[in-house]
Structure 1
Amino acid sequence: MNGFLNWWDGNELWLSGLAFVLQAMVVMPVVLVVAYVTANVLDSVLGRGIALMRRARHADGTPG
């Protein structure tokens, strides 16, 4: 764990030493990938949840 924390601190110091524009150029691709993956995971989970609710509603015999 100490090795990871030392690596993280080194990257943080390197990044904070860059100019703002360079920081944005380095950080934004990472943020966009994380946001895209999160959106896909949430879409999949919610889609499955909706499908389960529809299946349960039709199993009860209620229209809708």
Structure 2
Amino acid sequence: MAAILNWWDGVELWLTGLPFGVQTAVVMPVVLALAYGIAVVLDGALGWGIAGLHRLRHAGDEAAPE
């Protein structure tokens, strides 16, 4: 773990030493990829949950006599 932390410290120092425009160009692809990944996972989880609620609602309708 110490090796990973030392590596991250080096990356952090390198990044903070860059000009702002270059920092933005380096960081934004990473941030955008993380945001996209989180959005895809949340979209899938919410879609699965909504589909489950629809199945439960329609299962209750079929079991009830008319």
Which band: TM-score by shorter chain? Answer: over 0.9
Q: Counterpart amino acid of 1:50?
A: I
Confirm whether residue 19 of structure 1 aligns to residue 22 of structure 2: no
TM-score (norm 2): 0.91
| Structure 1 unpaired stretches of 5+ | none
**Alignment length (residue pairs):** 62
Q: CA RMSD in A?
A: 1.0
Detail structure 1 runs of 4+ shifted over 2 Å in the superposition. none
Q: Which amino acid aligns with 2:46?
A: L
Aligned to 1:61: 61
Matches of 1:3 and 1:12 in 2, distance apart?
A: 14
CA offset digits 1:29-63 (Å, max 9, x no partner) = 0001001111000000000000000000011118x
Q: What letter is aligned with 1:58?
A: H
Q: TM-score, normalised by structure 1?
A: 0.93
Letter in 1 for 2:32: L
